[in-house]
Homo-oligomer: A and B are copies of this chain.
C-alpha cells in the first residue's frame, strides 16, 4: 500500500530537485514539477503541506544523495590525508561531470538555495547550514587523523572548507573547471607535501 504512495513522493522530490537545481527555486512553479513528474496536484498536496515543505524535502534529499556519493567515493581510501585528497578529486569529477551520480554541475545546491532563502530563521536555510557543517565534520575527522592534534586539525579543517567551497564557486561562477585540482594542490601544500 505504501509502495505506490512512497514512489510518488520520491518521484516528486527527485523531479523537484532536478528542476530546482537547474533553474533555481523561485523560477520553478509547482505546476512545472507536476507536469514533468506526471503526478496530480492533489497527490502533491497529499504528501506535502506546501511548496516550502517540498523544498525542504529536496534539500534533505540532496544532502543524503551527496553524502552517500561522497561516502562511496571515500570507501576504499585510507583515513587521513589520502581521504582529504580524495575529497578534492571527487569534487573535481563533480565539477567536470565525470560522475553521473550527482547529475550536471550547476554549483552547490545548498549555496544556491540559501541565496534564495537566507533568513536565519528559515527552515530551508537551516537545512543548508546543517549540510555544510556535516561536510566540515568529515574534513575535521580526517584532518585529525592526519595531524593527530585537535587544535591544528580544526585549523586545517577550516582551511579545507574554504578551499572546497571556493572550488565549487570558482568552478561554477568563474567557469574554472580546474578549480578543484588547484584546491587539491593548495591543500597538499597546507598538509606539508613538498
Contact = CB atoms under 8 A, between A and B. Distances in A.
Nearest to A183: B162
Contact of A163 (B106, B111, B115, B163): B163
A182 B165 contact: no
A110 B173 CA distance: 9
Contacts of A167: 162
> What is the copy number of this chain in the assembly?
2
A interface, how many residues as a size bin?
A: 35 or more
Interface string A115-157: 1111010000000110011001000000000000000000100
18 contacts: A24-B118, A26-B26, A26-B116, A107-B118, A111-B173, A113-B115, A114-B172, A115-B116, A132-B174, A133-B174, A158-B176, A158-B179, A158-B186, A159-B163, A161-B166, A162-B166, A165-B169, A169-B169
